[in-house]
Amino acid sequence: MQRVYYKQNRIKQLRAFCYAAQSRSMSRAAQQMFLSQPSISLLVQSLEKELGSRLFERHGPRIALTNEGRNLLELALPLVEGFESLPEAFRERCNNLVTGNLNIAAGESTTLYLLPGFVNRFSQLYPHIPVTLHNASGVDGLALLRSGTADFAVGPILQIPEDILFTPLFSYEPVLITPLGHPLADRERVTLRDILPYPLIMPPRQMSTRGVIDIVFQQHNLDYTLKMEAGGWEVIKRYVEMGLGISIVTSICLTGGEKLARISLRTYFPGRSYGLIQRRGKVNSPAARKFIELMGPDRVTEAGAAGPRGRAPGRPRRDLAARPRTSL
């Protein structure tokens, strides 16, 4: 193999390029590398000159990757991330010591109901590793992944972009919740028409959960009565317990301690898959790998899926064929 001698520090060039590409800003890349903005520009320009390709389209302070830039980012980002995680990986290899920190992006329902047990276990095993939970889902969560701010995300996903890998881990089903003593509370099965006489407490219209509910009722040519809109599963559960209405929720939010009756609606509504969301080609830090191992991506579990009268069978499930959707 012919040895290549570089005029510039290639790692420094690639770091400048990757940081600028991820943040879409030369100035933000400069802040990350503790350099001046002109220094970042010179590093990127020297890289462009050596590669003979234009990597960014420049529009004043705004930059956007060219096709060549996107190809280079796909090749270079794993190299840069691997280089930057080298000290932690080296200590892990030599001393069986996991170091560094862990950043996880997750929405409110995932942070509140799914992650606590895993975070607690991880903190017991690796008490010296700080964990940061970023309250972000959907587009915001993907932005944290692409910028490198988050090691990975956990939750559902509506559409899977080409640069994102989704591994489903848990499935939750839609359930009807009612106050105890409600006329529907003792039913083992209800139809959509059975729900119509009773007002519903619903999530806001911009939430995908609400969109799915509306579509299903429309498909059956039925109109429900809206009693109240409320944001957050805990708020909805509280007002249902007070007897102000009934609601349709995803079983992830049901802990078993609520004063509520639960009836499965799997006949009408699709289940919701929660799982591991990663950027393709991402080099996981030792801390991220250990957390992912705790979650067990090699298995798919139906956690908290309510059966008749709300009981959770907890049986394994490996047939998650439905496209995951975004949750409340």
In this predicted model, what pLDDT tens digit does every residue of 253-299 receive, in sequence order?
A: 999 899 999 999 999 998 889 999 998 888 888 899 899 999 885 54
Using alpha carbons, select from 83, 85, 147 the residue that is nearest to residue 289. Answer: 85
Burial label for 141, CB within 10 Å (0-12, 13-18, 19+), is buried
Residue 256 CA to residue 309 CA, distance in Å, equals 12
Alpha helices in 52-207, H assignment, sequence order:
67-84, 86-95, 108-109, 116-125, 138-147, 192-195
pLDDT at position 324 is: 34
In the chain, how long is the greatest CA-to-CA distance? Answer: 80
Q: What are the average pLDDT values for consecutive 10-residue runs of the chain, which has 328 residues?
A: 56 89 88 89 90 88 88 86 77 69 93 95 94 91 89 90 90 95 93 96 87 93 94 94 95 93 94 91 86 72 34 32 35
pLDDT at position 274 is: 93
pLDDT at position 159 is: 85
Q: How crowded is residue 321: how many other Cβ atoms within 10 Å of its Cβ?
A: 6
pLDDT at position 307 is: 32
Using alpha carbons, select from 286, 282, 248, 241 the residue that is nearest to residue 78. Answer: 282
pLDDT at position 298 is: 54
pLDDT at position 303 is: 33
Q: Which pTM does this prediction carry? A: 0.67
In this predicted model, what pLDDT tens digit does every residue of 66-82 receive, in sequence order?
A: 999 988 988 888 888 77
Q: How crowded is residue 195: how many other Cβ atoms within 10 Å of its Cβ?
A: 22
- HSE-CB of 190 using CA atoms within 13 angstroms: 29
- Please answer whether residues 60 and 17 qualify as being in contact, where contact means their C-beta atoms are separated by less than 8 angstroms: no
3 state SS of 294: helix
CA dihedral 269, 159, 166, 141 (to 10 degrees): -110
pLDDT at position 8 is: 53
Q: Which helix or strand (DSSP H or E) is residue 273 part of?
A: strand 272-279
pLDDT at position 135 is: 93
What domains appear along the chain, each with residue ranges and CATH number? 10-77 (1.10.10.10), 86-170+273-304 (3.40.190.10), 174-264 (3.40.190.10)
Residue 137 CA to residue 133 CA, distance in Å, equals 11
